[in-house]
Each structure stands twice: as structure tokens, then as C-alpha cells.
Amino acid sequence: MPAIAECFAEAGLKGDAIARIVCGSGPGSFTSLRIAGSVAKGLAVGYGVPLFAVSSLLLSVSGAKPALPPGEYLSVLDAMRDEFFASRIVYRPDTGEHELSAVTILSRLDLDDFRATERAVRVVGPGQEIDVHPHARGVATVLDHVIASGAVDLAGWEPDYGRLAEAQVRWEAVHGRPLTA
């Protein structure tokens, strides 16, 4: 929160200048997404503005530096267990009309197979052919796409964790039943 307040101060922003909050929605680390989502919800409620969510996989493509050209990419993020969260993205920064496939989980072998069979599609993500991480600067090139997808329901929205938290998986294995709310 102090970093956000400092950022607003450096930009000379006052509360009435905030029109919307945009938050990376995952998939990714449970704890990091939970904190980011909570802060984003708090800011949206506090400023009385809508909250918009954007895929972290899209933010890897749109936030790349140097900027990526229009094209088709497979954006991946570490999902632990030698697996990756992945989404095929058709990125069109010139029109703002981006296409994202549903998020899937690929094993390292599946990712290697993808590279071998889909040579025209470049793989982006940490430690990949194009080594990038999700970055907030990417919101600028996808903002129209994000707004068009609509604001989230503040009461019910949660980030896309991509899969159950490791602690929940272990609890369910020990107890032999799903963990309920």
C-alpha cells in the first residue's frame, strides 16, 4: 500500500482522478494473487470505482519490453510441479482486439511438443524463448479489451488461481474429501 500511495503521489493523482482499478487476475501464485486481488478490491471500494481484471498471461505479452509485434503467442507461467499455465494469445495491439484461449496446464513435455509442432507460435514467459514476466505497463495496450470485458463483481470476484492451492490439495488428500467454504 505505501508503494501505491507513493506512485499516486509521484503522478500527482488525487482520489477523484481515479476512474477505475485494473488488476492482474492470474493464473499464478495463490498468495500473491490473493494479496493483489484484496488490495485491488479495497482500492475499488475505497475510491468507489469499478474493478477490471486482466489475465496475467496477456500481461506477459502486452507488457513485454521491447514491445512485441502483432501475432500469435503461447504465454506460459510456472505452475509448479514441472508444469505451466498456458494460453494461446492472438495479440493485436493495433486494433486492441485480442483473442485468448482458455488457460490450460501443460507439462514440460507438452510444452516441448508444442514448440516442435507449432513453430510459428512464439512462446513467451519467464525463462522462455521470449523471456518476459507479466507487467502492469501492458495494461495500456489492452485497456479497451479489458474494459469491453466488463467490470468484475466486487463481492464475488476472485483471481484465477489456475488450480487449487497446494495447502488445499494436501488437506483434501489427508481428509479424503473436498474442503468446503
d(CA 115, CA 26): 23
Task: Work out the average pLDDT over 42-56.
Answer: 95
Bridge partners, residue 106, by sequence: 84
Rounded to an integer, what distance in angstroms lies between the CA atom of residue 73 and that of residue 90?
6
> Do 124 and 74 meet the contact criterion of CB atoms below 8 Å apart?
yes
Strand duo 71-80 + 122-124: pairing: parallel
Chain center to CA of 92: 17
List, as own/partner pairs, every contact residues 113-121 make where C-beta atoms lie below 8 angstroms and the sequence separation is at least 24, other chains included: 114/74, 118/74, 120/72, 121/72, 121/73, 121/74, 121/88
3-class DSSP assignment, residue 32: helix
Q: Is the pLDDT of residue 7 over 90?
A: no
For 66-91, give the DSSP string: SPPPSEEEEEEEEEETTEEEEEEEEE
| Closest by CA position to 127, among listed 51, 76, 73, 167 | 76
Express each pLDDT in 104-128 by its tens digit: 999 999 999 999 999 999 999 999 9
CB atoms within 10 A of CB 64: 22
Banded pLDDT at 181 (limits 50, 70, 90): low
Is 87 a residue whose pLDDT tops 90? yes
Contact status, residue 118 vs residue 74, Cβ threshold 8 Å: yes
The arithmetic mean of pLDDT across residues 84-109, rounded, is 94
